[in-house]
Structure 1
Amino acid sequence: MRDVLEGESYVSLATFRRDGRAVATPVWFAEGDGAVWVFTAGDSGKVKRLRNSPRARLAACDARGKVHGPWHEAQARIVSAPDAIARANELLLAKYGWQVRLLDLFSRLSGRYSRRAYLEIRV
């Protein structure tokens, strides 16, 4: 995936409803250890859908979700291991720097940080 997503800031993550319809959302991501790492609100629709099915798709996109690259079939899982979460945070911080730090600050102040979910996506 590195060559496909290199230089991209956003990826469109499509997860699937029980009826098979895809729901795509633009998200920040970081690559490392053979996976794409994403964080999101623990109560988000994508997390709920991934609890039902690990099927996902990824495509390069802009901040508004306009896809400008091919879709890639993937498998996603919600990670809870502290070492995996630490690695995801390390990769995201290396990529987004102050932006992630600012988002983390607001998330902590609002109490949402502790409810964050981390996704490991493999193509």
Structure 2
Amino acid sequence: MVISDEKYVLFTTFRKSGEAVSSPVWIAGLADGTAGFTSDLNVGKVKRVRNTPRVTLQACSFGGKPKPGSAVIEATAAVKLGEEAEAIRRAIHRKYWVTTRLLATAALVRKILRRPPVDGCAIQLTLG
């Protein structure tokens, strides 16, 4: 099984000090052999990727518990914005279409309540 076939992966970034910080994310494979996921723009993992593109991935549960026997995979991450992020957004939507529709509904409610929208981005992962 390829890591992008997993439902959730533990995405580990590294602080400038070298300390690892992990969080579970969705992941989808892309036609060019890379993988990716979407994120809010102003979160710690995005800031850390901008500072240090070296990351690791490991199959995990919804809560971030690594799957027994799953391998840790080295990867390089890059933050993508605007049009560069569209292929990743489409891949995530295809794989997680029910959940992405629920999130779109939540965004609409947020707009109706006149709350500021959350800026989004995508993280592209080059494996290996």
Same fold (TM over 0.5): yes
Aligned residue pairs total 119
Alpha-carbon shift at residue 36 of structure 1 (Å) = 1.3
With the length of structure 2 as denominator, give the TM-score of the two structures: 0.84
Mapped pair 1:23 → 2:21: yes
Relative to 1, partners in 2 of residues 1:108 and 1:56: Cα closer, same or farther, differing over 3 Å?
Answer: farther
Alpha-carbon shift at residue 52 of structure 1 (Å) = 0.7
Alpha-carbon shift at residue 31 of structure 1 (Å) = 0.7
Higher strand fraction: Structure 1 or Structure 2? Answer: 1
With the length of structure 1 as denominator, give the TM-score of the two structures: 0.88
Match of 2:113 in 1: none
RMSD: 1.6
After TM superposition, the structure 1 = structure 2 runs for residues 66-77 of structure 1, keeping only pairs within 5 Å, are 66-68=65-67, 69-77=70-78
Q: Among the aligned pairs, what percent are the same residue? A: 32
Gaps of 5+ in 1: none
Match of 2:50 in 1: 51
113, 120, 126: which one aligns with 1:122 = 126
Q: What does the per-residue CA deviation read over 1:46-96, in whole Å, with 9 as the maximum and x for residues that have no partner? A: 0011111101000110100011111111100001250x3221121111101
On the 8 A contact 2:37/2:89 being kept in 1, the answer is no
- Higher Cα radius of gyration: 2
Alpha-carbon shift at residue 97 of structure 1 (Å) = 0.8
Name the amino acid aligned to 2:12.
A
